Amino acid sequence: MSETELEVLEMFNRIDAQVTKVTFNHFNHTTSPGNCLATITDPKNEYCMGDQIIVRLDMFDHLGNRKKHGGDFLRARIYSPELRAGASGRIEDFNNGTYNVNFTLFWEGSVKVSLMLFHSSEGASALWRARNENYQYIQFTGRFKNLTEYVHIECGFHINTTEHVCEYLDQRDGEFFYCMKPENVPCEAFIDLVAGFRQNTHLSDLEKELFHRSSIGAEIKKQFKIIQVSQCNRTTSHADQKCKIGMTSPLPSGYFLQNVWKPSFCTLPSTPILEQMNTCLQKKMIYLMGDSTVRQWFDYFANTMKTLKFFDLHEGRPHGTRLALDMDKNLGIQWKKHGHPFVTTNWYTVKNHQYMPREIDLVPGDEHTALVITFGLHFRFFPITLFLRRAINIRKAVQRLLVRSPDTKVILKLENTREKYPDVERFSDFHGYLHNKALSLIFQDMNVGIIDAWDMTTAYASYDVHPPIDVVANQVKMFLTYIC
């Protein structure tokens, strides 16, 4: 095994150890949100801004029996709708059916608590097992050009055939992709790709019972109501330092107040976003690499900075590379999708396809260059080893970049939450949660800026693969603060 494959295996084992493996023989023996209890461990008559509270969760099954293991996939949040405020909670799993949820009361007013069971431990265990069994959730179709005719053929990461295949391999990084070899057409004629969803499942009928719509994101019963928080002559404690690359992002990493993100470990300027853009982005080259959630950044820049002009790269279609320029500011912003897998029902070109580590290797880098990386949502349909290999290879590419150009600013945007109810086996946020766990380990101690999109979308209560404009704007503001 190569050094990379050994690291992939080691990382897989570390993530696997964090997933509770559970078997069950009846739905009634699984976690019931209606029977679980949430209590404040040390209730007070008065709460002040900055106080910490701990909510204890005791988990029970549908028969009222106390659960004896952990592994439930939970989401915790405090919020005040009238203040457009929200923050996530940090969850401790004691692996015995008991959890502590730690909240910081960042603002004064009436604070509500949301404690949601997204998947029981039995459901999370089933999703983990099913995901890692094979590559058969997605059907890729490749388009090959034979002079004036097109040939459509099956492609993917694993093709069960004894016929000839076209191999698209990256030997250095151990990346692989295949297409059936079209008759009388060279493998180099591969020009476009599209994806579709197979109807197969790796869940048993019993496991499917765990994922009925009403069971996903169900609120846990609370033994308390609204928490009243007073100022108590306090001001919210903020770190004195401006947000800088290399800082450790805690949990929670911040909170929303009036839909403005306030990090808990550093400060953001109060400068209006357009003014910050105009000042910060002089003489900058910004590379946005990844999926459509960072393409939202590109669109936000373009819609906010009216001086940006699109440069037509003749790729067309929704997922073609985008480039915007401001010649007066000597500013360029580019978005390019990451390499396989890119799962979309729209055809996209593979003529200029490269995996992200190779793209990073092409970035010259200097004090005027910033690179934003995000990936994960398109990897949820495949065994996690595919994601881990890519993440490790990206880390190595970033290390190479920072050796040759140490002044380059590198930002890692974590995966965000998405819709509650789509096909859970393929789309569940549980997969993204594990991705972010892995990234925190793989990029540990790296000199990169972290934008915790997961924490931000949890605090905001965003249930959309493409978060609302308020969330995007706050992510961009944090990015600008990191690089300037």
Written as one letter, the residue type at 42 is: D
Tokens at residue 119, please? 């998947």
Provide mean pLDDT across the span 288-296: 98
pLDDT tens for each residue of 257-274: 999 999 999 999 999 999
Q: Is the pLDDT of residue 1 over 90?
A: no
Query: Is residue 286's pLDDT more than 80?
Result: yes
User: Is residue 177 pLDDT above 70, yes or no?
Assistant: yes
Confidence band of 422 (pLDDT split at 50, 70, 90): confident
pLDDT band at 240 (very low <50, low <70, confident <90, very high): confident
The reported pLDDT for the residue numbered 472 is 98
Provide mean pLDDT across the span 396-411.
Answer: 98
Residues 415, 435: contact at Cβ < 8 Å? yes
Determine phi and psi for 276, rounding to 5 degrees: -65, -40
Percentage of the chain modeled with pLDDT above 70: 99
With vertex at residue 132, the alpha carbon angle to CA 128 and CA 133, rounded to the nearest 5 degrees, is: 120
pLDDT band at 148 (very low <50, low <70, confident <90, very high): confident
* Average pLDDT score over residue span 300-307: 97
Across all residues in the chain, what is the average pLDDT?
Answer: 96
What are the tens digits of pLDDT across the range 443-472?
999 999 999 999 999 999 999 999 999 999
Q: Measure the CA–CA gap between 384 and 375, rounded to whole angstroms.
A: 13
What is residue 133's predicted lDDT score, i.e. its pLDDT? 93
475 token code pair: 């992510």
From CA 25, how far away is CA 28, in angstroms rounded? 9
Q: What percent of the chain has pLDDT over 90?
A: 93
Q: Give the residue carrying structure tokens 């086996």.
A: 425
Predicted pLDDT of residue 238: 64
b/e 48-68 (16+ beta carbons within 10 angstroms → b): ebbbebebbbbbbbbeeeebe
Is the alpha carbon torsion for 119, 121, 127, 128 positive or negative? positive
Tens digits of per-residue pLDDT, 74-106?
999 999 999 999 999 999 999 999 999 999 999
CB 309 within 8 A of CB 326: yes
Please give the pLDDT value at position 316.
72
Tell me the mean pLDDT in the region 407-421.
Answer: 96
Specify the pLDDT at position 236. 63
331-370: per-residue pLDDT in tens?
999 999 999 999 999 999 999 889 999 999 999 999 999 9
With beta carbons less than 8 A apart as the criterion, state whether 111 and 78 touch.
Answer: yes
227 beta partners: 111
Is the bond preceding 269 in cis, omega lying within 30 degrees of 0? no
Q: Model confidence at 30, in pLDDT bands (50, 70, 90)?
A: very high
The residue ranking higher by pLDDT, 134 or 375, is 375
Q: How many residues make up the chain in this entry? A: 484
Q: Are the beta carbons of 434 and 442 closer than 8 angstroms?
A: no
Q: What does the pLDDT read at residue 147?
A: 85
Q: Which residue has the tokens 């396809």?
A: 353
* The pLDDT value given to residue 12: 98
Task: Assess whether pLDDT exceeds 80 at residue 235.
Answer: no
What integer is the mean pLDDT of 27-51?
A: 95
Closest to 20 in 3D by CA, of 132, 129, 100 = 129
